[in-house]
């Protein structure tokens, strides 16, 4: 508590650690109440270079380093300008012992733990909000700050190389994943190249959002936002939705713009997301054969 007190002008009264509900998360998230305010304090758990499959892959592909929490100020401001649901403002930031801390506003609502069996209005508001974010397009692959950029026209050739490195680094003893790699690399050589990119949440999951029981009231976990084809976000969504919730989501999304065609990209993009363990260590056959909703 003494270390964190320097972040505040008034005395800290209570600190509650907020756990996202899944393992290998990169952030320390604290709800801190002082005599004058109640805010969220975020910092990174990482000290060394990102070295697990997800964060190593995100850094290689998109130039995202979760240790740089100061970046959240620009990311959150950019998203807040576009979306229909709130994104918390960064109120102030400070470095303590070479570690970055940001103080962000506390939004109203409760963490969503599943998108299934939710009121239709929640999924519709999710669809509309993401569609509005997707309206802004870019011609590069990288991070939202633009400090890391590669040509969008090289995206699939980059994926071929990064998939190779991911399998060699993290899956050299997983024969089933290794056996599928050549097919996925061949597909990426044959399918159309993306022509635009968007803000996307690589680790799309219900726990990144807050709700009041009727609509989305906050997008609160933005550290894994990248600039990449929006099709990737739809790939991730298929693993956290079912038929009913997907229909509700689509209704909200198409009120703003059309759903992208996933026909050509679904298989290789799904393979990439399995290599990144976006939803954990699911068997590759089960992962690739997951139901499709878009």
Residue ranges of the chain whose pLDDT lies below 50: none
What pLDDT was estimated at residue 22? 58
Residue 27: its pLDDT value, please? 81
Give the domain ranges of the chain: 2-105, 110-288
Q: Are 82 and 75 in contact (CB under 8 A)?
A: no
With left for phi above 0 and alpha for psi between -120 and 50, is residue 152 left, alpha or beta?
A: alpha
**Would you say the CATH fold of 110-288 matches that of 2-105?**
no
**Topology of the domain covering 2-105:** Phosphorylase Kinase; domain 1 (3.30.200)
Return the structure tokens found at 275.
């290599």
The string over 32-61, giving b where at least 16 C-beta atoms fall within 10 Å of a residue's C-beta and e elsewhere, is bebeeeebbbbbbebeeebeebbbbbbbbb
* Closest by Cα among 275, 199, 209 to 20: 209
Supply the pLDDT for residue 251. Answer: 99
**From 3.40.50.2300, 3.30.450.40, 3.30.70.3040, 3.90.1200.10, which CATH number describes the 110-288 domain?**
3.90.1200.10
pLDDT in tens, 46-89: 888 888 999 999 999 999 999 999 999 999 999 999 999 999 99
CA–CA gap between residue 291 and residue 278 (Å, rounded): 16
The pLDDT value recorded for residue 125 is: 98
pTM of the model: 0.95
């Amino acid at each position: 508590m003494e270390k964190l007190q320097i972040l505040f002008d008034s005395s800290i009264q209570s600190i509650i650690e907020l756990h996202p509900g899944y393992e290998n998360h990169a952030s320390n998230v604290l709800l801190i109440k002082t005599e004058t305010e109640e805010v969220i304090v975020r910092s990174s758990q990482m000290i060394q270079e990102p070295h697990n499959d997800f964060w190593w892959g995100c850094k290689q592909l998109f130039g995202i380093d979760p240790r740089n929490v100061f970046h959240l100020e620009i990311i959150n401001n950019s998203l807040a300008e576009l979306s229909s649901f709130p994104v918390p403002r960064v109120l102030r930031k400070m470095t303590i012992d070479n570690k970055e801390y940001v103080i962000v506003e506390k939004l109203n609502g409760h963490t969503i733990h599943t998108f299934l069996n939710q009121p239709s209005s929640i999924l519709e508001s999710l669809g509309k909000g993401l569609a509005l974010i997707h309206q802004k397009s870019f011609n590069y692959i990288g991070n939202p700050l633009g400090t890391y950029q590669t040509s969008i026209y090289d995206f699939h050739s980059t994926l071929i190389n990064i998939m190779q490195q991911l399998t060699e680094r993290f899956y050299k003893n997983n024969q089933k994943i290794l056996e599928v790699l050549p097919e996925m690399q061949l597909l990426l050589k044959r399918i159309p190249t993306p022509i635009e990119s968007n803000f996307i949440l690589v680790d799309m999951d219900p726990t990144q959002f807050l709700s009041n029981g009727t609509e989305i009231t906050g997008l609160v976990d933005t550290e894994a936002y990248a600039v990449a084809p929006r099709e990737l976000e739809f790939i991730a969504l298929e693993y956290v939705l079912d038929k009913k919730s997907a229909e509700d989501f689509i209704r909200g999304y198409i009120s703003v713009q059309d759903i992208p065609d996933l026909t050509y990209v679904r298989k290789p993009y799904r393979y990439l997301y399995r290599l990144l363990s976006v939803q954990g260590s699911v068997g590759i056959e089960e992962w690739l054969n997951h139901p499709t909703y878009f």
